[in-house]
Structure formats: structure tokens, C-alpha cells
Structure 1
Amino acid sequence: MRPSTFIPFASLMTAASAQPIESQPTRFDLVAVNEGPVQYRAVSQSASFFYLGKGKGFTDSFCPPKVEKAGHCPPGKDTVLKNAHTLDSVVGGQVIYVDSNYAVRASGPDGRSRETDGDSVKSNNSIDGFKYVPGSQYGTWKYQNDGVDGFLACPYNNGIYQVFVNSPDAKPPRGQKVDSCVSFTAGAFEYDLPANASAAAWQY
């Protein structure tokens, strides 16, 4: 687990462009921007699931030892998307999908679901619905599909929340009920890589 940056309100507003955002940036990271207990927390991926951490989130990434020894590993500290349903990684092919519990997940680098013995992710019930929407100061990452609209943050442990799509049938962790969850808006902010990196992580 590697810590990712907690972004306070002042930094968010400084980073946000004063001009309208007209198109999706090359890559972006996600922050909860609405009122509530998860406000201004980064959306981070760990062990294929997505979370909002207390103060600091956590991103789980991997870089091969030989690449690390040569000093060529990407940052790997933040969860970054290259489009609305794909993570920004060197290996590529890591798509974001919704599992049978309505949890937001990320596939392996071969595009296979980690939910059931490596089944391929099926677009008709998993990745359809994710989209990037331009805004006046920052973009928004949204989910709309089969009557489901938006995201939920469900209590996980020690102030950490797990990310689900906003369905009444969502099954939060540890046997909790869906009414313990809070809805949130995912702000999408352009992510700048260091000059020597071509992706945000080698593999998530």
C-alpha cells in the first residue's frame, strides 16, 4: 500500500482551472467534492477495489524489481485514469467495472475480472455507464446505467469508505446496510506526470 495525497479545499481550488473545461484531459485523478464525511478525499484503488481514505487514501501499485532497480518505475502513488473506464498504467488493459455487489472494481492488466476466476469483463453489465463530463472548473467522473446514477461511499473500516455505484441493491462490506452509505460526486482533475514518466503506475 502506498499513500496517495489528501487534497485540501484550497489546493483543489488552486488546481482547478478558472476557464471552462471543454474536453477530457489526457489523464486525471478523482476526488470527492461534495459536502459530507468523504469530502475532498482522493479515490484510490487497492486490491482491485476503490476506496476513499480518511485524510489520506491508499493506492496499491506494482513495478517489476528490474525496472525499479534501473530507476524507471512510474510514480505509482496515485490512482489515475486515462479515460472514464481505464486506469493509466504501463501494462495497459486495466478496465474499471461494476461487480455483482455493485462495487467499483479494476480488472487485471489482461482485462480480466478479479471477481470470478479471471472471467473477462463484459461491457454490457460492467463498464458501460462510466463517463467523463466536462465542467466549469473541473470535470466529473460519473456512472449512469440500468437506472443506477452516481456513486456511494460505504463505511469500510477506521474511517475508510469503499466505493459502490448508487444502487439500492448495493451490498456494502462487513454486512452493513446500504443506508449506511453516503452518495458523493467524483471530481476529475487533470493529472501531470513527471517529465520522465509515460504513465502514472506500471500496474495497479
Structure 2
Amino acid sequence: MLTSLDQVRSIVFDLDGTLYTSPAIVEEIQAAAEMMVADSRGVSRSKGRELLRLARRRLAEELEQEPTLTRTCLEMGIEVREFHRALRQQIHPERHLSPDPVLCALLDSLREHCDLYIYTNNSLALAGKILALLGVEEQFARLYTIEFAWTPKPDPDTLQRILEDIGGPAESFLFIGDRRQVDLSLPESLGIPTLLIGETSDLLQIHKLLGIIP
């Protein structure tokens, strides 16, 4: 447990499900994946949905954890670049998101004490659009998106590259995400403090955790 703000210099946020939640965007991403699977197999979307579900369940059993959608599509022979190219074309966050002044104020206050980063499986184009729609695109020192290594989270090599790029000992980081296995387990294994978010309102815990407010 963190007891001193002086320990943390870099806060690394997940994006989807952490800085915002949108069931509509989740549905759009799922639909895009189902259509890619269907098109690659020459079957209907409903059949593509079933194939995707079965592949995800099989992969979960192999990994002993729930896989990301990107990882599942990769296992089905859909290239990561191809998957994210389709998402850029078919996902429309502008239909579902608007500026979040509470999030903006929270991040702005944190930035007085720490550098803020994003580590996401999203592409740079989509992540940038989402952050702009939320009104927080200027708050982050750098975005680590799928293009950084073309390998979806969780991936130890990519994480190590990010840590080296930012710089600092383990205790100088705080990783924040909504999925423990995907976002937090690897940092935790390196002795990095983490915070699991159940909903975006949980972000208010960060100030208490770092001792910014009583």
C-alpha cells in the first residue's frame, strides 16, 4: 500500500473501462470482431459470433484467464493490424462520448504531482479520438497504444519496454486498470503498486491513495 506521494512519479492508466465506460462502444467493437471472423470464414455474422465465443472460451481455458478480444482474434488468424484497421473504420466514439469535466479536473490535479500515461490495446487513432472527446487529450505525457509493439496486453516484453521508456524504479509507478489479469497482474509481479477500478467513479480513490487529500 502506498503511504507517500513522494514514491509515485508516473501513473499509467488503462483506457477503456477505466477512464470511461460505454456499453455502446463495447457493442460496436464486438460487432466488428464478429464480422471479421464471419468474413474470414465465409459464414454469417451469427456463426461468426459463435466461433468467436468458442475461441475465447478455449483460449481462456488454455491461459487460465479471460483473454482480450484482440488476443482472441489473433488466435483465430486475424492479424492485429487488420483487426485495428477495421476498428478505426467501424467504431464511432463520437456518437457515445462527450467531455467529462470531473475526469478532466481529476487528471489535472494529479498532473501537478505525477506524469500521466496511457497503456491501451487500442490504436493511436482511436485512443486519441476517445481522449479528445472526453476533453483530456492534453493531460498525458505519452500514449502507449497497440502500435508500440503490435502485441496486446498482457505482454511482459512490451511492459518492460514501457517501464524503460518512462524510467524509474518500481515504486515510482502506479498502474490503474479495470481488469486485474490484463492490466495489473504483470506490474504487480514486478513490485509495482496497482489500483483496480470497478467503475470510473473509483478514480477518486487515487487522491486518497497518494495522500493528496485526507
Superposition TM-score tier, normalisation by shorter sequence:
under 0.3
TM-score by length of 2: 0.26
TM-score by length of 1: 0.27
Q: Which has the larger radius of gyration?
A: 2
Larger strand percent: 1
Larger helix percent: 2
